Structure 1
Amino acid sequence: MSQQPHHWIDFRRDSDMQIEAIRAHFTGHAYDPHWHDSYLIGVTEQGIQQFHSRRERHRSRPGTVFLLEPGDLHDGDAIDAQGFTYRMLYLQPALIAQHMAAIFADLPAGYELNFAATLSDDRPLAQATFNAWQHLAGDAPLMVKEAALQQIFSHLTRHQFWRKQQRQYLQEHRLAEQTHEFLQAHYGENIGLGEIASLLEADRFRLTRAFQQRFGLAPHAWLIHKRLNEARRLLAAGQTPVAVAAEVGFADQSHLGRWFRRVYQLTPADYRQRCTNLPDRPIRSR
């Protein structure tokens, strides 16, 4: 008789640093393909963590650091019944830029941080990530958390390369980028693919093909994940799931809830409560 997949999630959000810290264990299938608008720095504690990203399959073992950039599509699976355990930090691009600018004072404007590889056996970086998670999740004094984070950035200097934010693209690549920009600007609206194709004067099948080749997802699937990323931001700020669903473009709260649970293994109400300590519904006065 087969066992049901087992998982648990310990999620924290540090209000001082605006950093999300997660420690989780999964057996079986963990996550469908999805992306985040933040940098992800994590370390595998136990088991083998298998995932696909940047068109490759990766297997992260105990002590291995995994590094993902904003927009990197990735999934997650356990390869055996033991499952895997990992801890991870979600760092906003603005925070990364602030710390890296202090380290690389002569960095030209218009460049962004990219990781040279998805996996690394850098033990000092793994230990720094582990320590930072402990301090952030344990609500350590602000100066201790800042010092722990600085250790991560110091070790990251061995893994970065710099790339210009604005580049010239071939025609198909440019079409994908224009579609991406439109979805970024109108994610909360009831957008039709035909409308986008008409505005860009392109065939919708060509548009879909170019977008999927560039971003790894069809436009409608990418749009769902964009809405989910925006929903996380609003929920973390204290907005209710019903208000968030309407603002980011989901049909209703249950539609948001189904997708949120599918991608993050948490309900919107649970995520909001862990970020803010606010109840899902206001407490009525007697």
Structure 2
Amino acid sequence: MAGTGERARHWQYEELPGVDLLRARYISKTFVRHTHENFVIAAISDGVEVFHHGGADQYAGPGALALVNPDTPHTGRAGVPEGWRYGAVYPAPDLVAAIAAETTTIRGTPGFVEPVLDDPYAVRLVHEVLRAAEEGNALAADTLLRVAVTRLLRLNGGPLRQRLVRSAGARLAARARAQLEERLTDPPSLEQLAEGLGTSPFALLRAFRDTYGMPPHAWLTDARVRAARRLLDAGTSPADAAVTVGFTDQPHLNRHFARIVGVPPGAYQRERKNVQDSGRALLVPSEACQNRQHPHPQA
């Protein structure tokens, strides 16, 4: 059965503030186009992950890392029938900037140049960070994380290009994004949004996709999931978070959340409530497994 054996744990360790952690094995999992506020450093142990990034499919196999800069649209899926197993750390931009300033010569906002890097040693470092966090070894977790980020920046780092809102299309897209941010729970249709901005729907669609790497409706879903994560972090129930950010109900949040974050919102929040746990918790079933155990109506 598709998805059998999929497992994922998405958590935080209180001694690594600003860093999300993930261990996962996915087979039929598909991540829709989305972004992260933090960096993605995903160390592949087995199998192959394919992710669309920068206009092309990227392949990361055993001993390689998938590296994604903040606010960069990308997808994710298995590249082989057996799926892929990996561990990932998601350090905040300010942490990466501080490490870069202390240990590299990068000037400007630091980031990764290439989305895939073959480096088995760095892969081991990432998994050692996760192991140290699970064991409650703060000194090792913090040290290994800084060593890993430094190594990756020295091997594959450089200044990020700043997104400049200069062209007419970029200015149009920025205005549309601002309106969507203000109307997260009651967004206009594409036609209404375009009319209010004095342009046509297809002109707005092209400008938005060219500027942000995804169409307005996909950006809106991504923004809603980000907002839901903040509410879940603050203790809001998944059902209340769903309605607050504009989803019809919790099943809608469950579906979109798992396709972007990798775990259902309930499992995500439980880990947030147990950040002081020693790490002995078992991996939670992924969305596919939970849906089979607790089916819910689809929209």
Q: What range is the shorter-chain TM-score in?
A: 0.7 to 0.9
Q: Which moved more, 1:250-259 or 1:49-58?
A: 250-259
Matches within 5 A, 1:84-233: 84-103=84-103, 107=107, 111-141=108-138, 143-155=139-151, 156-163=153-160, 165=162, 167-183=164-180, 185-186=181-182, 188-192=184-188, 193-233=190-230
Query: 1:163/1:27 Cα in 2 relative to 1: closer, same or farther (>3 Å)?
Result: closer
CA RMSD of aligned residues (A): 2.4
In the alignment, what sits opposite 1:284?
Answer: none
Higher relative contact order (CA 8 A, sep 6+): 2
Question: In structure 1, what residue type is equivalent to 2:194?
Answer: A
**Aligned-pair CA distance for 1:105:** 8.0
The Cα of 1:194 is off from its aligned counterpart by 4.5
Give the Cα separation in 2 of the matches to 1:150 and 1:101.
12
Retained in 2: the 8 A contact 1:187–1:223? no
Which residue in the other structure is 2:291 paired with? none
TM-score by length of 2: 0.81
Shift of 1:62: 0.4
**Within the alignment, does 1:45 sit opposite 2:41 as a pair?**
no
Per the alignment, in what secondary structure is the counterpart of residue 157 of structure 1? helix
- Tell me if the contact between 2:33 and 2:218 (Cα under 8 Å) persists in the aligned partners: no
Q: Report if aligned partners of 1:33, 1:75 keep a CA contact under 8 Å in 2.
A: yes
Distance 1:82 1:125, change over 3 A: same
Cα distance, 1:112–1:106 mapped onto 2, change above 3 Å: closer
The one-letter code sitting in structure 2 at the alignment partner of 1:67 is L
User: What is the CA-CA distance between 1:56 and the residue it aligns to?
Assistant: 0.8
TM-score, length-scaled by structure 1: 0.84
Counterpart position of 2:274: 277
Does structure 2 retain, via aligned residues, the 8 Å contact 1:42–1:67? yes
Identify which of 236, 239, 249 aligns with 1:252.
249
158-167 or 210-219, which deviates more = 158-167
Identity %: 25
Q: Which residue of 1 aligns with 2:32?
A: 32
Q: In structure 1, what residue type is equivalent to 2:13? A: D
DSSP 3-state at the match of 1:269: helix
Taking a change above 3 Å as real, the CA distance of residues 101 and 248 of structure 1, as seen in their structure-2 partners, is: farther
User: What residue identity is the alignment partner of 1:124?
Assistant: Y
Q: Paired residue for 1:282?
A: none
Distance verdict in 2 for CA 1:106–1:205, change over 3 Å: closer
CA distance in 2, matches of 1:258, 1:163: 32
Please state how far the C-alpha of 1:166 moved relative to its aligned partner: 5.4
Give ranges in structure 2 of 5+ residues lacking alignment: 276-299
Contact 1:21 1:137 in 2 (8 A): no
Unaligned 5+ residue runs, structure 1?
A: 279-286
Measured after TM superposition, the shift of residue 47 of structure 1 is 1.1
Q: Distance in 2 between matches of 1:205 and 1:148?
A: 48
- Give distance in 1, aligned partners of 2:240 and 2:29: 31
Distance 1:102 1:54 in 2: 29
Distance 1:165 1:135 in 2: 35
| Equivalent position amino acid for 1:4 in 2 | A
CA distance in 1, matches of 2:224, 2:65: 28
Aligned residues: 271
Q: How does 1:70-81 map to 2 (within 5 A)?
A: 70-81=70-81
The amino acid that maps onto 2:142 is: E
Separation in 2 of the partners of 1:34 and 1:106?
27
- 8 Å contact kept, 1:237–1:276: no
The CA distance in 2 between the partners of 1:181 and 1:112, in whole Å, is 24
